[in-house]
Amino acid sequence: MLMRTDSFLYRAFHLYYDGFRSMTLGRTLWLIIGIKLFIMFAILKLFFFPNFLHQHAAKGGEAEFVATELTERMTNGETTE
C-alpha cells in the first residue's frame, strides 16, 4: 500500500520533514523545549508530587482507597469545586 504523492498526508509529512531537516536555530530551540519539558515532568514530579496512593493505600487496594476517600469527602460536605 503506497501513499500517493498528491495526498494530504504525504504533503504534510514532507512539509514537516523538510522543515525539520533544514533547521539550524530551530534545533537549538527544540532542544531547549525538550529540556524544559523534562524538568517540568520528570524532576518537578519527584519533588512536588509524591505518590500519595503508594504511601496510604495497600497494594491492590488503591481503587477501594480512592472510593472511600471520595465518599467520605462528599458526606463531610467537602467538594472539589
Q: For residue range 32-62, list pLDDT tens digits in order.
A: 999 999 988 888 888 887 777 777 777 888 8
Q: Are residues 37 and 56 in the same domain?
A: no
Q: Are residues 60 and 21 in the same domain?
A: no
Residue span of the structural domain in which 5 resides? 1-49
Q: Are residues 7 and 44 in the same domain?
A: yes
Q: Are residues 44 and 5 in the same domain?
A: yes
Q: How far is residue 34's CA from residue 9's CA, in Å, rounded to a whole number? A: 26
pTM score, two decimals? Answer: 0.45
What is the tally of structural domains in the chain?
2
Q: Are residues 8 and 44 in the same domain?
A: yes
Q: Are residues 4 and 25 in the same domain?
A: yes
Q: Are residues 37 and 59 in the same domain?
A: no
Averaged pLDDT of the chain: 82
Q: Are residues 45 and 78 in the same domain?
A: no
Q: How far is residue 79's CA from residue 71's CA, in Å, rounded to a whole number? A: 11
